[in-house]
Amino acid sequence: MRAGPSQEEIRRQNLGALLRYVHVHGATSRATLTTALGLNRSTIGALTTDLVNAGLVSEETPKETRRAGRPSLVVRPESARVYAWAFSIEVDRLRIARIGLGGVVLDRRALERPRGLMAAETAPMLAGELKRMQQEVLPGTICIGAGIAVCGMVRRDDGMVRLGPHTGWVDEPIVDALATELGTGTTPTVGNVADVCAFAEYTRGAAAGCNNVIYLYGDVGVGAGIIAGGRRLTGHGGYGGEVGHMVVNRDGVRCACGSRGCWESEIGEYALLRAAGRPEAHGREAVLAVFDAADRGDARAQAAVRQIGDWLGFGVGNLVNIFNPEMVIFGGTMRDLYLAAAAQIRSRLNSIGLSACLEHVRLRTPKLGDDAALIGAAELAFERLLADPLDAA
């Protein structure tokens, strides 16, 4: 229903489009930008000058060129100079990274997270580590903000973590806690880890160029980040993608959410360890040990991997029918499960998926690996810059 934009809005839109292009694609010639953005050369020149003056990009003459004539200047994102802080709050660890414009990981650290740590104790740990990392940041750089990936349901309006069944978080105000610790004017943007990973893989990973994507993230629980029609599916309050709480087994075990037979109760950490006869174990290392054992021929571990793999394929089949995605990406421990049980997963998926929905769907592992959560958290912060480059910088 909105009417067309004003001249000022168009300029902002064009600046954002140019900066986004080099942020996603890296160094790009003015000639390519002219074609890609559908703008004329003088407009590209003027926009680039503005972005150079703001310190967001640099221009240089390409070193070599095979063509005759004056070579087109190359526009490069200032990755070492312009950066965002990225935090990932996971069940068993905390991670912090400094990510440069263009998605370059400039620095990254990890801390163990004792299970049970709340937002009020998490924020000082993150802020303390950030301050140590800051000592290595050169003067003259531009921090454009911070993003947080968190295992849990995040309210879109204010970033409140409503429920993290496996972190024990209920209504934990991580944004406020961290903003207070950091003491800066910038409020971090927070997102669910699966949403954030999906966004990263869509922007610059395995799903680049795909407009309909499901990114499954598993650790203790399971969630999905969903890209539908080229946009992040958030739902009304921000809680969309809780596919781990799709009930698949009415007779299944009790789930942490209070329901019974949820998908994550059939494919999450506890299900795998229980099926492998290791109900006392927990954590990512214990999960990986089951895959190792299966790989070495342990029959019980192999049966567990097949059983859980079958349930993974079951839920993926449902999601393929519901969303008709062109790609499903298996992240976190779902990556290991997918690699160990691809045949079961495919077979069950094929038995449930409608043939039209199966035609184009590709199953993939993440291209960004474990960095997806950090890169995606930084992308949340970069979004503000890309929406209005000169105002945000």
- Would you tell me which residues interact with a copy of itself (CB under 8 A)? 1-5, 9-11, 13-14, 17-18, 20-21, 24, 36-39, 153, 155, 162-163, 211-212, 228-229, 231-243, 245-250, 257, 259, 314, 317-319, 321-326, 351-352, 354-357, 359-361
Residue closer to a copy of itself, measured from CB, 124 or 230: 230
Q: How far is CA 143 from CA 39, 79, 185, 392, in A?
A: 29, 11, 11, 10
Which phi-psi region, left, alpha or beta, contains residue 164 (left: φ > 0; alpha: ψ -120 to 50)? beta
Residue closer to a copy of itself, measured from CB, 295 or 359: 359
Residue closer to a copy of itself, measured from CB, 156 or 300: 156
Compute the distance between CA of residue 3 and CA of residue 306 in angstroms, rounded to an integer. 55
Residue closer to a copy of itself, measured from CB, 132 or 231: 231
Residue closer to a copy of itself, measured from CB, 112 or 251: 251
Residue closer to a copy of itself, measured from CB, 131 or 254: 254
Compute the distance between CA of residue 36 and CA of residue 324 in angstroms, rounded to an integer. 29
Please report the beta strands in the chain, taking only residues with DSSP state E, as ranges in sequence order. 28-29, 57-60, 74-77, 82-89, 93-100, 104-112, 142-150, 153-154, 161-164, 169-172, 189-192, 213-218, 222-228, 231-232, 327-332, 362-364
Q: Shortest distance, CB of residue 152 to a copy of itself, whole angstroms?
A: 10
Q: Shortest distance, CB of residue 16 to a copy of itself, whole angstroms?
A: 9
Cα dihedral 133, 225, 342, 352, rounded to 10, equals 170
The 3-state DSSP class for residue 342 equals: helix
Q: Shortest distance, CB of residue 226 to a copy of itself, whole angstroms?
A: 8
Among 169, 210, 209, 211, CA closest to 193: 169
Q: Shortest distance, CB of residue 168 to a copy of itself, whole angstroms?
A: 16
Q: Shortest distance, CB of residue 378 to a copy of itself, whole angstroms?
A: 19
Residue closer to a copy of itself, measured from CB, 85 or 314: 314
Q: Shortest distance, CB of residue 174 to a copy of itself, whole angstroms?
A: 16
Compute the distance between CA of residue 77 and CA of residue 65 in angstroms, rounded to an integer. 21
Q: Shortest distance, CB of residue 356 to a copy of itself, whole angstroms?
A: 4
Residue closer to a copy of itself, measured from CB, 130 or 226: 226
Among 333, 13, 370, 16, CA closest to 200: 370
Q: Are 107 and 81 in contact (CB under 8 A)?
A: no
Q: Shortest distance, CB of residue 73 to a copy of itself, whole angstroms?
A: 18
Q: Any idea what DSSP says for residue 28?
A: E
Residue closer to a copy of itself, measured from CB, 111 or 322: 322
Residue closer to a copy of itself, measured from CB, 110 or 233: 233
Handedness of CA 314, 235, 250, 330 (dihedral sign): positive
Residue type at position 331: G
Among 196, 197, 166, 192, CA closest to 91: 166
Q: Shortest distance, CB of residue 14 to a copy of itself, whole angstroms?
A: 5
Half-sphere exposure of 373 (CA within 13 A, CB side): 25
CB atoms near residue 62 (< 10 Å): 11
Among 182, 188, 212, CA closest to 319: 212
Q: Shortest distance, CB of residue 374 to a copy of itself, whole angstroms?
A: 23
